[in-house]
Amino acid sequence: MSRRRVAITGLGTINPLGHDVETTWSAILAGKSGVARITRFDPERLPTQIAGEVKDFDAEAYFGTREAKVLDRFAQYSRVAADQAFADAGIAFEEGDPAAERAGVVMGVGIGGMDSFIEGLDVLRERGPGRINPYTIPKLISNMGAGVVSMAHHLLGPSMCTVTACAASANAIGDAAEIIRRGAADVMLAGGAEAAVNEFAMGSFNQSRALSTRNDDPERASRPFDADRDGFILAEGAAALVLEEYEAAQERGAAIYGEVLGYGMSSDGYHMTLPRPGGTGAAAAMEAALRDADLEPEAIGYINAHGTSTAANDATETAAIKRVFGDHAYKLAVSSTKSMTGHLLGGAGAMEAVLSLLAMRDSVLPPTINYDTPDPDCDLDYVPNEARPAEVTISMSNSFGFGGHNVALVLGR
Contact by Cβ (8 Å): 50, 222 = no
Of 306, 328, 378, 405, which is the active-site residue? 306
CA distance 139 to 61: 19
CA distances from 270 to 167, 254, 405 (A): 16, 44, 10
Active site residue: 19, 153, 343, 405, which one?
343
> Hey, how many other C-beta atoms are within 10 angstroms of the C-beta on 222?
33
Among this protein's residues, is 19 annotated catalytic? Answer: no
Contact 388, 411 (CB under 8 A): no
DSSP 255: P
3-state secondary structure of 9: strand
Q: Which of 153, 166, 378, 405 is catalytic?
A: 166
Q: What is the number of alpha carbons within 13 Å of residue 406 lying toward its C-beta?
A: 28
HSE-up of residue 251 (Cα within 13 Å, Cβ side): 6
Element (H, E) at 180: helix 168-181
Sorted by sequence, the CB contacts under 8 Å of residue 412 that are 6+ apart come out as: 258, 259, 261, 293, 360, 393, 394
- Give the Cβ contact number of residue 391 at 10 Å: 9
87's enclosing H/E stretch is helix 73-89
Q: Which residues pair with 18 in a beta bridge?
A: 15
DSSP per-residue string spanning 313-372: HHHHHHHHHHHHHGGGGGTSEEE-THHHH-B-GGGHHHHHHHHHHHHHHHTEEPPBTT--
Tell me how far apart the alpha carbons of residues 392 and 43 are, in angstroms, rounded to a whole number. Answer: 42
405 carries an active-site annotation? no
- 3-state DSSP call for residue 159? strand
Measured in degrees and rounded to the nearest 5, phi and psi for residue 188 equal: -135, 140
166 flagged as catalytic: yes
Provide the annotated active-site residues. 166, 306, 343
